[in-house]
Amino acid sequence: MSIYYFINIVVVVFFLSITALKSQSELQNYDTLPKDIKTVDKLLEYCDNIDNIDSNIIYANTALKISESINYTLGAAKALHSLASSHYYFADYEKALFFLKLEIEIYLSTNSINNSDLLGESYRFSGEVYRAQKDYDNALRYLEKAETIFHKTQNQFLLSKTYNRYAAVILEQTGYAKDQRVPDYIHKSDEIAKKYNYYDIIANNINIYASYSQFYVEYDEIIANYKSAIEYLKKFEQPSEIPNIYRNLAYAYRNGGKIDSALYYAHKSYEISKKYNINVYIYNSVGLLYSIYHEDLNNNDSAIVYLKYMIEYEGLMYDAEKMLYQTQMEYKFKSQIKDDEIKSQKVIMFYQILISIVLIIILAGIGYFFYFRAKHQKLANEIINKQKEELDELNSAKDKFFSIIAHDLRNPVSSFQNITSMMYDDYQDFSDSEKHDILRLLKESANNLSSLLENLLTWSRSQSGKINYEPDSYNINYIINNIIQEHQSIAKNKNINFINNLKADTKAYYDASLINIAIRNIVSNSLKFSPNDSNIYFYSETIVESNNEFLQIEIKDEGVGMSPTQVQNIFSLDKNKSTKGSLGEKGTGLGMILVHEFIIKNQGKIWIESEIGKGTSVYIQLPVKKY
């Protein structure tokens, strides 16, 4: 939480407070309005034709007040329905149901056949509000009441809308599972809607069917269905319902991996929802935008913006629920508010707002202080943890280095010393054949010692940052052929064949010196762990990942292989433990540490696949060109 969040809260509270004062001022016009049926009907006509929900509530409240004063029950019922509709779009479902119940009570008390369709519409709309609350049992119960009435009155329009809501409720109740009742009700609704050109119902049916069939039909068909629904709504000239379909279309594109299109339609949904001040659609669209920016695009700056919007609209809907009790009491007692009470309430509200703003600013300051302190503490902890990790790595490197010096380097030197001492002391006692074998051992010991020292020096330079990195485009065939030639004598002693299956065009972008060291170590290991009379293979291929080309090299032997644990730890300095070769050769494990470090330094990848007793494949990926 940051200071910007607290500032946003202050602005929202202040804006709501000013709006409340303005609304009270407009309601004072009640005293100057004519108290007759014509005035009520005119106010209700305004409610039907304006897009501003705040103004709609003001007109409906005024119409309700006049209707009650002149005992105009039909006007009161219609005003209650308008209030329910406005609060439904504000996602204040409890208050919407409260007004609908009052409306239903009026129709049931008059018991007039002329009110049957109005009563049925109240039942149908109650079912829709219960659906929005996810109370599906009550939703179906009220829709059933509505259907019974519309069958009797033969109101095809409302019957088609009722079937449409049946499909929506069952779709959500079953968790979008395949349920034949959904397409059946859509078919019933469509049959009527298409006959009488009810474009808004046709569009909504398409929207529901697209959501229902998203797991059972092709992706292109789902997209086409949503776009078709939008075209029908445009014909109906009712843009306030389009945001919901745009949001569904955005979800479909997102599920299909087309994030740019998903982002475009999510923004469209948000813009239209904002234009018509439909809180529930605004909240849903900013939630989707937050998910796309955060999860798909990793754009945290934009994600935070829409997260703030989510918090803001969630707070507005919650504040509306808190006002429900006050409204219920107001309608329960139906008390007239006197002019002096209104004035005193204005004064009280003004001071409440003033005190609230002061308290919020104080709380914002306190919150920012603790946030700032926590942020600095967190930063300090992160620095300490990072330093600790670096120290652990240095200690591990130090321990490994001294282990190599103390054991792996000392043993070959001691062996070399013992052999030369034995030759010097007992030279005359050895046959020519024995002398030849001893010289061979000395040569192998010297080669191993030289390789170890070279790796130690290279690793030391790498750790101190003294290795140059100068990449360019090279043909890797040249490096591998040279390495094969260097190791031919060792391979010949074990009767091991090098089989080079590299393609002719094997260019990649890398530092030749570092890759030469890396591949030489891999080949040396392959020779060490391969049995006599075996083969070492070289393969290459070009692959594409994330629109980038890579040269992939595989070096495969038929050696002793490694366990999964050995494969997992082979590139870890503190966990790598060397194993003996096929003829008892020893290693330090340092070579593979260098291999991994140099491949990564060249923007490449390396991994190993191995099975004990069957051999090992080392895979290297290098970029074909500079990215």
User: How confident is the model at residue 265, as a pLDDT?
Assistant: 87
pTM: 0.42
User: How confident is the model at residue 334, as a pLDDT?
Assistant: 47
Tokens coding 151:
């069958």
User: How confident is the model at residue 619, as a pLDDT?
Assistant: 97
Hey, which bits of 139-242 come out as E strands?
A: none
User: How confident is the model at residue 421, as a pLDDT?
Assistant: 81
Tokens coding 393:
């790595």
- CA–CA distance, 98 with 100 (Å, rounded to integer): 6
SS3 417: helix
User: How confident is the model at residue 248, as a pLDDT?
Assistant: 81
- Asked if pLDDT for residue 22 goes beyond 60, the answer is no
SS3 510: strand
Beta carbons of 249 and 226 less than 8 angstroms apart: yes
Long-range contact list for 28-34, CB < 8 A, 24+ apart?
28/342, 29/62, 30/62, 30/65, 30/66, 33/62, 33/66
Tens of pLDDT along 589-627?
677 888 898 899 899 999 999 999 999 999 999 999 987
In this structure, what DSSP letter does residue 504 have? S
Ranking 46-55, 102-111, 158-167, 231-240 by mean pLDDT, the lowest is 231-240
- Asked if pLDDT for residue 15 goes beyond 50, the answer is no
- Asked if pLDDT for residue 222 goes beyond 80, the answer is no
Helices 93-110/116-132 angle, 10° precision: 160
Tokens coding 609:
């696949």
Which residue matches tokens 């600095």? 376
The sheet with strand 548-557 has its strands ordered as 497-500, 535-545, 548-557, 615-623, 605-611
Beta carbons of 535 and 499 less than 8 angstroms apart: yes
Q: Considering just the CA atoms, what is the radius of gyration of the chain in Å? A: 40
Q: How far is CA 74 from CA 48, 104, 204, 588, in A?
A: 16, 11, 30, 93
Range with the largest mean pLDDT of 225-239, 315-329, 519-533: 519-533
Range with the largest mean pLDDT of 128-132, 213-217, 279-283: 128-132
- Those residues with Cβ within 8 angstroms of residue 579's Cβ, 6 or more apart along the chain or in another chain: 529, 560, 562, 566, 587
Burial class (CB in 10 A: 0-12, 13-18, 19+), 579: middle
Mean per-residue pLDDT, 29-49: 78
Mean per-residue pLDDT, 477-490: 89
Amino acid at 309: Y
Q: How far is CA 453 from CA 441, 443, 457, 484, 574, in A?
A: 18, 15, 6, 21, 19
Q: How far is CA 547 from CA 216, 504, 543, 551, 589, in A?
A: 31, 23, 10, 13, 35
Mean per-residue pLDDT, 43-64: 83
- Asked if pLDDT for residue 32 goes beyond 60, the answer is yes
- Asked if pLDDT for residue 559 goes beyond 80, the answer is yes
Element (H, E) at 553: strand 548-557
Phi, psi torsion values for 460, nearest 5 degrees: -65, -45
Quickly state the pLDDT bin for 157 (edges 50, 70, 90): very high
Ranking 96-100, 381-385, 532-536 by mean pLDDT, the lowest is 381-385
Element (H, E) at 360: helix 339-403
Q: What is the mean pLDDT of the chain?
A: 80
- CA–CA distance, 601 with 362 (Å, rounded to integer): 52
Tokens coding 597:
């470090």
Which phi-psi region, left, alpha or beta, contains residue 521 (left: φ > 0; alpha: ψ -120 to 50)?
alpha
User: How confident is the model at residue 426, as a pLDDT?
Assistant: 76
Report which of residues 2 and 572 the model is more confident about: 572
- CA–CA distance, 273 with 235 (Å, rounded to integer): 19
What percentage of the chain has pLDDT greater than the value 90?
A: 29
Ranking 5-9, 280-284, 492-496, 508-512 by mean pLDDT, the lowest is 5-9
SS3 322: helix
- Asked if pLDDT for residue 88 goes beyond 50, the answer is yes
Tokens coding 297:
């695009």
User: How confident is the model at residue 585, as a pLDDT?
Assistant: 53
Quickly state the pLDDT bin for 412 (edges 50, 70, 90): low
- Asked if pLDDT for residue 17 goes beyond 90, the answer is no
Nearest of 63, 66, 68, 69 to residue 81 by alpha carbon = 63
Mean per-residue pLDDT, 510-535: 91
Tokens coding 174:
């079953």
* Domains in the chain with CATH codes: 241-335 (1.25.40), 468-623 (3.30.565.10)
Quickly state the pLDDT bin for 196 (edges 50, 70, 90): confident
Quickly state the pLDDT bin for 474 (edges 50, 70, 90): very high
